[in-house]
């Protein structure tokens, strides 16, 4: 955790294609020569349509896949090494946790840190303290002794955020954190992330197809649709735009968000039109789904 | 035969049964929570293939070093079968239950063919008897030798130590496998480790309850414990306690009623689970 680099994440000329699904089909290109420096301590929102390569980008940053060309470094390290050192926190889009597991909230939050400690240490008090601290950060003081199965959906998500930051990572990656959450819930989530950012000073990358999820808590916005385009949030996301965002669909705002016409083209995608409908909630579809 | 001499015949079997209870009880919570029951079932049936292989390799008899060599062959075969299931489930068929169905039936069929070939050969050569099919299928607690008990004790210490040493990583893997890789753990290595430990435990349990009933030891104590408690350490303590008590009671009942021990143990464990299920309102 002593690693300090100017850039938390450096993505240089990265391309990635999933292998063809059937004989005769072409490999599916998910990312095309992406270059994306993420300065340490910033909050970056990555906005893009379903199938635009967001999940692929997340997997590359986490080091779960290797790029076909180009280079990804996290805090100056190869991503798997950064992961091994506990420098990356990750909140998945949908939790796969067994919520009826006989485990307390504290134990569940402590596990990623505790799993690193020596087997002969009977009780890992350091991890327990870190778990309590993380629970405090997400406003879950006093929940430590409850069974995980007794938490509501919102509480569970906060506990999972606590778990993602229990190792005090330098980088936190949030994958579609507010899918299926109403506007008030999104605001609460954005406030929570701002508190975390202020408390731990980490770099935060939020990936979403939903502008609202990104607008509230990002210093910069990158638009991703196989290639990437950056926008500094201050002029892009004014209060006026935000008001409209919360009232209307995201689509009309794309033109305004993108300074140059080229970027707007890059963001256009047919799947984007029914954004707030159930299709938008489905998460991975088409291209992204084929890679799993 | 004096009482002491009688007891001496039972001792290795009882020791092995209690050791298997200890280990099975520990493992059982993971098996139930991580839905490994059918994997355990598949591996235990695959052990029959190992029995056939050992017989055709010439370790067929119930005498000398043959039982030990057979256990070793069965262990290697079962672990290989477990890894095969994992490979088929990940790469070829993509469905774990299909992979288990394939490996399990293939191993059992192969085991039976090899066993018959070995039996014919032994009859022709006038060699010692092969272990009975019934004993292999349902357990032969009373024919366990002191050497087998010592081997089991050593294996239990090794497996329990590996489980204990890696317990937190295994817990995270069972609780939320997808979060292991982002947390910096090697998911496939962990899965492989659990599979090898599970297959080894199954091989030990096969001595007690046979290839058909071995899974009882790995499923019922955990299923019972998870009905009675909702937190981590109590669940493991309860599971081990239930395993030890049901196996001891099962052996006692089998002696008392003159029922086969493996089946009596499995029935006792089912009975205790039934009681726990009724006591906790049946539905989950």
CB nearest to B172's CB, from A86, A112, A147: A112
CA distances (Å), origin A128, targets A98, A107, A114, A124, A163: 20, 7, 8, 6, 11
pLDDT for A1: 45
> In chain B, whose CA is at the least distance from the CA of A165?
B183
With a cut of 60, say whether residue A131 has pLDDT above it.
yes
pLDDT for B261: 93
Q: Answer whether A161 touches B (CB < 8 Å).
A: no
pLDDT for B143: 84
pLDDT in tens, B189-230: 999 999 999 999 999 999 999 999 999 999 999 999 999 998
**d(CA A216, nearest CA chain B) in Å:** 26
Three state DSSP letters for chain B? CCHHHHHHHHHHHHHHHHHHHHHHHHHHHHHHHCCCHHHHHHHHHHHHHHHHHHHHCCCCCCCCCHHHHHHHHHHHHHHHHHHHHHHHHHHHCCCHHHHHHHHHHHHHHHHHHHHHHHHHHHHHHCCCCCCCHHHHHHCCHHHCCHHHHHHHHHHHHHHHHHHHHCHHHHHHHHHCHHHCCCCCCCHHHHHHHHHHHHHHHHHHHHHHHHHHHHHHHHHHHHHHHHHHCCCHHHHHHHHHHHHHHHHHHHHHHHHHHCCCHHHHHHHHHHHHHHHHHHHCCCCC
Q: Answer whether B226 touches A (CB < 8 Å).
A: yes
For chain B, domains (ranges, CATH) are 3-279 (1.10.3470.10)
Q: Answer whether B223 touches A (CB < 8 Å).
A: no
How many CB pairs below 8 A link A and B?
Answer: 82
**d(CA A99, nearest CA chain B) in Å:** 8
Q: Tell me how far the alpha carbon of residue A256 is from its chain's centroid.
A: 24
Interface touch A147/B231, C-beta < 8 Å: yes
pLDDT in tens, A204-258: 999 988 877 787 778 888 888 877 766 654 445 555 444 443 333 343 334 334 3
Interface touch A119/B177, C-beta < 8 Å: no
pLDDT in tens, A45-86: 988 878 788 889 999 999 999 999 999 999 999 999 999 999
Task: Determine the average pLDDT of the residues in A172-197.
Answer: 84
With a cut of 90, say whether residue A93 has pLDDT above it.
no
b/e map A91-130, b = 16+ CB within 10 Å? bbbebebbbebbbbbbbbbbbbbbbbeeeeeeebeebbeb
pLDDT for A4: 53
**Which residue of B162, B167, B179 to mutate against A (max A Cβ within 10 Å)?**
B179
Residues of chain A found within 8 Å of residue B236, distances taken between Cβ atoms: none
Question: Considering chain B, what is the average pLDDT of its residues?
Answer: 92
ipTM reported for the complex, 2 dp: 0.87
Q: Answer whether A151 touches B (CB < 8 Å).
A: no
pLDDT for A231: 60
**d(CA B181, nearest CA chain A) in Å:** 8
Q: What is the DSSP letter of A110?
A: H
Residues β-bridged to residue A204: A43, A172
CB nearest to B184's CB, from A84, A111, A149: A84
Residues of chain A found within 8 Å of residue B169, distances taken between Cβ atoms: 115
Interface touch B176/A96, C-beta < 8 Å: yes
pLDDT in tens, B89-123: 988 888 999 999 999 999 999 999 999 999 888 88
Residues β-bridged to residue A91: A174
Task: Determine the average pLDDT of the residues in A145-157.
Answer: 91
pLDDT in tens, B145-158: 888 899 999 999 99
Task: Determine the average pLDDT of the residues in B254-269.
Answer: 94
Interface touch A116/B184, C-beta < 8 Å: yes
CB nearest to B175's CB, from A62, A90, A108: A108
Structure tokens at B145: 């030798």
Task: Determine the average pLDDT of the residues in B251-266.
Answer: 93
CA distances (Å), origin A86, targets A80, A157, A166, A203, A236: 10, 20, 9, 14, 34
- For chain A, give every domain's residue range: 7-87+171-290, 95-168
pLDDT in tens, B72-87: 999 999 999 999 999 9
Q: Answer whether A106 touches B (CB < 8 Å).
A: no
pLDDT for A237: 53
CATH 1.10.645.10 fits A7-87+171-290, yes or no: no
Q: Answer whether B172 touches A (CB < 8 Å).
A: yes
Question: Considering chain A, what is the average pLDDT of its residues?
Answer: 78
- Contacts of B143-147 with C-beta under 8 Å, sequence gap 24+, read B143/B13, B143/B62, B144/B12, B144/B13, B144/B16, B144/B207, B145/B12, B145/B67, B146/B11, B146/B12, B147/B67, B147/B68
b/e map A152-188, b = 16+ CB within 10 Å? eeebbbbbbbbbbbbbebbbbbbbbbbbebeeeebbb
Interface touch A107/B165, C-beta < 8 Å: no
Interface touch A83/B182, C-beta < 8 Å: yes
């Amino acid at each position: 955790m002593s690693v300090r680099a100017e850039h938390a994440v450096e993505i240089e000329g990265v391309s990635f294609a999933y292998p063809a699904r059937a004989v005769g089909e072409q490999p599916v290109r998910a990312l095309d020569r992406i270059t994306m420096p993420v300065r340490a301590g910033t909050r970056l929102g990555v906005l893009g349509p379903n199938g635009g390569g967001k999940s692929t980008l997340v997997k590359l940053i986490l080091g779960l896949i290797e790029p076909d060309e180009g280079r990804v470094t996290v805090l100056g390290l190869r991503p798997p090494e950064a992961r091994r050192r506990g420098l990356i926190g990750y909140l998945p889009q949908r939790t796969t946790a067994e919520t009826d597991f006989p485990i307390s909230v504290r134990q569940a939050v402590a596990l990623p840190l505790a799993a690193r400690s020596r087997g002969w240490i009977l009780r890992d008090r350091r991890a327990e303290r870190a778990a309590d601290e993380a629970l405090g950060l997400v406003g879950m003081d006093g929940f430590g002794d409850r069974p995980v199965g007794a938490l509501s959906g919102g509480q569970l998500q906060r506990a999972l955020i606590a778990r993602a930051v229990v190792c005090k990572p330098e980088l936190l990656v949030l994958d579609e954190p507010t899918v299926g959450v109403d506007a008030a819930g999104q605001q609460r989530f954005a406030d929570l992330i701002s508190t975390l950012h202020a408390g731990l000073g980490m770099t935060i990358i939020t990936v979403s197809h939903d502008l609202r999820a990104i607008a509230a808590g990002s210093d910069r916005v990158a638009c991703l649709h196989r290639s990437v385009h950056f926008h500094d949030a201050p002029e892009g996301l004014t209060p006026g735009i935000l008001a409209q965002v919360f009232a209307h669909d995201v689509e009309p705002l794309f033109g305004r968000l993108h300074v140059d016409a080229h970027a707007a083209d890059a963001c256009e995608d047919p799947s984007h039109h029914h954004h707030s409908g159930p299709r938008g909630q489905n998460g991975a579809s088409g291209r992204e789904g084929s890679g799993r | 035969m004096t009482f002491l001499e009688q007891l001496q015949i039972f001792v290795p079997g009882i020791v092995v049964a209690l050791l298997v209870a200890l280990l099975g009880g520990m493992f059982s919570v993971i098996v139930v929570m991580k839905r490994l029951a059918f994997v355990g079932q598949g591996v235990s049936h695959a052990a029959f293939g190992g029995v056939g292989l050992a017989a055709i390799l010439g370790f067929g008899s119930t005498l000398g070093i043959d039982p030990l060599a057979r256990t070793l062959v069965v262990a290697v075969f079962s672990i290989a079968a477990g890894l095969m299931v994992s490979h088929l489930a990940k790469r070829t068929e993509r469905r774990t239950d299909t992979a288990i169905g394939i490996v399990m039936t293939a191993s059992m069929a192969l085991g039976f063919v090899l066993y018959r070939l070995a039996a014919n050969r032994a009859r022709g050569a006038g060699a010692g008897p092969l272990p009975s099919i019934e004993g292999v299928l349902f357990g032969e607690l009373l024919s366990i030798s002191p050497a087998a008990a010592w081997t089991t004790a050593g294996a239990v210490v090794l497996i329990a130590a590996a489980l204990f040493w890696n317990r937190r990583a295994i817990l995270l893997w069972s609780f939320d496998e997808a979060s292991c890789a982002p947390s910096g753990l090697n998911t496939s290595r962990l899965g492989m480790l659990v599979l090898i430990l599970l297959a080894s435990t199954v091989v030990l349990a096969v001595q007690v309850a046979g290839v058909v009933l071995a899974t009882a030891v790995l499923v019922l104590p955990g299923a019972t414990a998870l009905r009675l408690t909702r937190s981590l350490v109590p669940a493991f303590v309860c599971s081990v306690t239930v395993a030890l008590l049901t196996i001891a009671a099962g052996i006692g009942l089998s002696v008392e009623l003159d029922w086969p021990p493996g089946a009596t143990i499995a029935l006792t464990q089912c009975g205790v689970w039934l009681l726990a299920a009724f006591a906790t309102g049946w539905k989950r």
